[in-house]
Amino acid sequence: MAIKFQYNKTALNNLNKQLKVRTNALPTLKNKESALRVEVKNAKVKSRKLLDELDKALKSYDYLAALWNEFEPGLISVKDVKLKTEKVAGIKTPGLEKVEYDVKEFDLFKKPLWYSDGVDILQNLAQIGIESEIYKEKMRLLDYSRKKTTQKVNLYEKVQIPGYQEAIRKIKRYMEDEENLSKASQKIVKERHVLEEEEEQLKDLGDKVERNYMEASEIDDGER
């Protein structure tokens, strides 16, 4: 990225400020990036763990497969999923607070005895599945933030900081050249003034010698 600047002290001060901001922010951004990498991995592991748990739970109920045919469709449904906000590495992510179910009333005397257990089983399975999806979303948000942070780290570390440093070097070099040129010009002017003064003194001396000579000549002519 080309840094736009002017060759003056004001631009130099502004560039130094911008460089300081980015230099100071870089370690924090790197720490945030590392923390997000860890949290993305943790969310991914947790989501997979819940899916494995769901899979095992489903397999553990295989023996009830024939009974599920007797289960009334729509007897239980998810009414609402209440979420809470959890900050992870400074990023707002969803967390499961509570799952609310809508369970239709049924006659315990007319329905099979295992109906109540069936409702509990379905609630448990739904809870695991929903929580797994929430961890997937948490992982997605954290990974998105991690990518944005990585981009910023690369921008600062590989583009902006070197760009500002190079611009500062150019301005300093230009200002040093200007200062050296100014000093050289001042020296030349000073030497010229000295030379002019010396020439003036020589001229005055010459005029004085000439006057003295003329006066001496006039005296000699008078004596003759």
- Residue at 94 is within a domain: yes
By CB neighbour count within 10 A (0-12 exposed, 13-18 middle, 19+ buried), where does 204 fall?
A: exposed
Encoding tokens for residue 118? 């069936």
Residue 169 has pLDDT above 60, yes or no: yes
Alpha carbons 13 and 70: distance in angstroms, whole number: 79
Alpha carbons 187 and 193: distance in angstroms, whole number: 10
3 state DSSP class of 106: coil
State the CB neighbour count (10 A cutoff) for residue 22: 18
Q: Identify the pLDDT of residue 104.
A: 79
Give the domain range for residue 54: 9-158
- Residue at 212 is within a domain: no
Encoding tokens for residue 196? 């002019």
The least confident of 60-74, 78-92, 121-135, 161-175 is 60-74
How many structural domains is the chain composed of? 1
pTM for the predicted model, two decimal places: 0.70
The β-bridge relationship of strands 91-103 and 76-88 is antiparallel
Q: What is the separation of C-alpha 81 from the centre of its chain, rounded to a whole number of angstroms?
A: 35
Encoding tokens for residue 139? 């992982």
- Output the average pLDDT for the chain: 83
- Find the helix packing angle between 9-60 and 115-154, rounded to 10°: 160
- Residue at 168 is within a domain: no
Residue type, 16: N
The band of 64, judged by pLDDT with boundaries at 50, 70 and 90, is low
- Residue at 179 is within a domain: no
Backbone angles phi, psi at 141, to 5 degrees: -65, -45
List CB contacts of 163: < 8 A, sequence separation 6 or more: 1, 2, 3
Q: Identify the pLDDT of residue 146.
A: 96
- Residue at 54 is within a domain: yes
Closest by alpha carbon to 72, among 124, 127, 123, 118? 118
Tell me, what CATH number does 19's domain have?
A: 1.10.287.3240
Residues belonging to the chain:
224
Average pLDDT over residues 42-65: 86
- Residue at 125 is within a domain: yes
